[in-house]
Chains A and B, each alone.
Chain A
């Protein structure tokens, strides 16, 4: 699927969610969903936005859209005894998106859509400097077990191949978003030293992706 198709699909899905009717969901169900899935939704948002406040806002917005009726959770109605034509006629033009037994997947997909929207509204410069990847062609499928395994595999490689100092510098530079000079000051080393370690880390990570099937 091309990036354009993916973007279209996302837009259509958003439209579907926005115009869906609210199903028969009550306060207790909202609370139950919130408390069951909040942590995983927040973690997914964090690995896309890297900002705690923005991530909390995204998760909160997903639940707010359930409350306002912009999205819905509904049990699949029993269609027994109804012909497909009747079913098609009875079905509203815009169908409620989520089934309760698939609530987790729906909520995580909603978080992902919102995060990608947030990223798309950021300046290219900010995305470039902060390594914010919003290109869906290459994103690891984050909310699946496979995606998690891919990230864990990469981290195993990092632990085995990057020195503790290289890992620390990468974290400070990219996760804490400090400049090379700030990292140098914090570690009491020179800026070229930080730069050299960072360069080595990037070369190793590049090597990981370029080896065999890891190429993207």
Chain B
């Protein structure tokens, strides 16, 4: 029967050289309640130590969002479009209080559109009344109306569809590291920094996502202190 002290010494040795254990041996060791409990207690202590260090490990949330948004650009664009259509449908009211601030902007915009529409209808009504009350002499202008017709009958969603394009992505004061990770993910290539100091270079860059990778690199390389090449599906920062 091992004493507590022996058990701890044994555990420390085993943990320092886990490669010397077979899986079966390890299972047998962990079948011992005392050992298993000791491992769990140390695991919790490790978590507490880590928790204590978290204050000094604050992630750059904006940079992480840029990376996430770039690597899921298509899905986010689709959501954006759906969101715009929902607002147009007037079904945005189903959103929750959490997003009230955001929605109120849309509500204000919708109110303005409503006021404009109402004014337009009133104006049109006045025009109709005027036209009826002061009938103009008929002019032989039948051809003109056919010219105008295609414009007025254009469905609203045709314009909408034309405006759906890949919008440029703007990196605003984002580290080169995050920028390249996002661009590389979109083009399915890797990134390698031979020059570590370049990782933290921050600048403003407009990424046109329809540009080819070569074109994007050309644009990035116009910045002083940036030298990016491509070797075998890897962006190499020198």
Contact = CB atoms under 8 A, between A and B. Distances in A.
Interface string B1-39: 000110011011011101101010011001000000111
Given A128-B15, A129-B18, A131-B42, A199 B8 contact: yes
Interface residues of A, number: 67
B98 interface: yes
Contacts of A11: none
B27 to A, nearest CB: 7
B79 interface: yes
Interface string B53-70: 110011101101100110
B98 A26 contact: no
A171 B49 contact: yes
B18 to A, nearest CB: 4
B42 A128 contact: no
Contacts, number: 180
A68 B72 CA distance: 10
Contacts of A216: 37, 40-41, 44
A39 interface: yes
Contact of B54 (A47, A179, A205): A47
A133 B23 CA distance: 17
B223 interface: no
B136 interface: no
Interface residues of B, number: 60
Contact of A24 (B30, B75, B95): B95
A43 B11 CA distance: 28
Interface in A154-168: 154-155, 158
Interface string A171-204: 1001100011000000000000001001100110
Given A46-B54, A103-B98, A154 B12 contact: no
Given A38-B59, A47-B50, A27 B83 contact: yes
A60 B83 contact: no
A103 B95 CA distance: 13
A47 B39 CA distance: 16
Given A26-B80, A128-B30, A198-B12, A133 B47 contact: yes
Interface of B: 4-5, 8-9, 11-12, 14-16, 18-19, 21, 23, 26-27, 30, 37-54, 57-59, 61-62, 64-65, 68-69, 72, 75-77, 79-80, 82-83, 86, 91, 94-99, 102
